[in-house]
Amino acid sequence: MRFITKSVAGAALAVAAGSAAAQSSVTLYGVADAFVQWFNNGGTQSWSMRSGGNSGSMVGLKGSEDLGGGLKAVFTLENGYNINNGTFFADSSAMFYRQAWVGLTHEKYGSLSLGRQYQPTFWSLYPTDPFRANEVLSPLAASSTTFDRNTMATQTGGGRSSNAIVYKSPNLSGFQLWGMYALAASVTQPYPQTTGNMLDVAGTYSGYGLYVGLSYQFQHPGSKNIPGLPAAVNTVSVEHYTGALAYRIGIVNLQFNYTYHKPEDPAAGSVAARLNAAHPFSVAELGATIQATPVDAIEIAGFQRLVRGVHDNTWGI
């Protein structure tokens, strides 16, 4: 269930040559999504209620104010929650874990925003995941953030960045560009860690049933505090390469994406080096979305997660 509530306020300023009206609006929006899950693992079965099956349950505020000449001031504040028990979905220390940003947008020149935001890589990949990178059920999201011994020092993008400066170009005949630079931050999900500065650029094209997305992301070193280890693991700098492709044929949208995470070698004698925990890995996903009715869709996806240099190859659907 989705809900949207809008309020609009007008302000007029009289000047010698006449008057100009500035329009502002604030929208309250959200998603309430709950589902019952049956789980079978090697003969062990269980039933549970969970939140965010099709789309993450969340509530947010977004607003805009017309500054004249095609320029607007905009903001978004958004947090996720678990509809089944009322708790925050992720980082309970953050009031607005999903998004918290303010910016300026112009119909001709694009937008510039500052705060906690989605990364350009996320937006380039999003249209090619049948489950829309859902943090609960998307195999792509699960395989990209999987924790294992071989890659614990190889950082992943995570989808959002704090302290981020983002530029988004206007849509030019189907082409759009993103650029982001995020300053270092501390987070507690899925475990306490620091993330270094991040550069992220992306370009997309959408038209005639075809979608293409390409992105590059570079993460500076950070650290993770992992339970059971005597010291923090220094995460190495990582380059992330992403390609995404989708093509719509009637009611069927065929979707494919591929990401490759290339870390630098860890420093000699570091925890990451002693554990051999900074391997490169890739994730490939192939899927389809079938729009059975205007409101009902069938979504299917399969993925492969391959860690280079070790016998670590995971398939799933």
Q: For the chain, which residues make up each domain, given as ranges?
A: 1-66+73-103, 109-317
Can you tell me the distance from the alpha carbon of 236 to that of 218, in angstroms, rounded to the nearest whole number?
A: 11
Closest Cα to residue 3, out of 24, 25, 27?
27
Can you tell me the distance from the alpha carbon of 55 to that of 57, in angstroms, rounded to the nearest whole number?
A: 6
For position 144, what pLDDT does the model report?
Answer: 61
For position 18, what pLDDT does the model report?
Answer: 38
For position 311, what pLDDT does the model report?
Answer: 64
CATH architecture designation of domain 109-317: Beta Barrel (2.40)
For position 39, what pLDDT does the model report?
Answer: 77
Count how many residues are written for the chain: 317
Q: What is the pTM of this model?
A: 0.87
Helices (H), 75-179: 120-125, 139-144
Instruction: Show the low-confidence residues of the chain (pLDDT under 70).
Output: 1-3, 5-22, 91-92, 142-147, 188-192, 311-314, 316-317
Residue 56 Cα distances to 5, 77, 128, 178, 272, angstroms: 19, 15, 18, 24, 33
